Amino acid sequence: ENGIVRINLSRKIRDYQKNMMDKPIQLIFSTGSNIPVGVIRGDILGIDTDKLIEVGLFDWPPSTQSTYIQKVEADEMGNFQFIGIENGQYSITAVEGVLWDMNKQIENKKYEIMF
């Protein structure tokens, strides 16, 4: 009750010619009466357009125990957006590949952190 359901369709979905989608698709539904209207948008510069970049939204201040609140993929131009979020303070981390454990991934993946 009064929960948010997020469905993210990855850019990894390909057509018959094996072309990756140019941007991911996000769908948000609510089991309550409304959906939060907060949006955070950003751009990641200098990316390889053939690689996937996942961006995680974390609570502020960051800690070693932080798990992401929400994650999205950047589009082929490096643009990303978090939609349907509550007002608050957040940090954002982007990783080349799949974001699963930032503390372990910063040792061997390209990454970016924004506060």
Summarised one tens digit per residue, pLDDT across range 59-97 is: 888 776 667 889 999 998 999 999 999 899 998 888 887
49-68 burial string, b = 16+ CB within 10 Å, else e?
Answer: eeebbbbbbbeeeeeeebeb
pTM: 0.78
For the chain, the average pLDDT equals 84
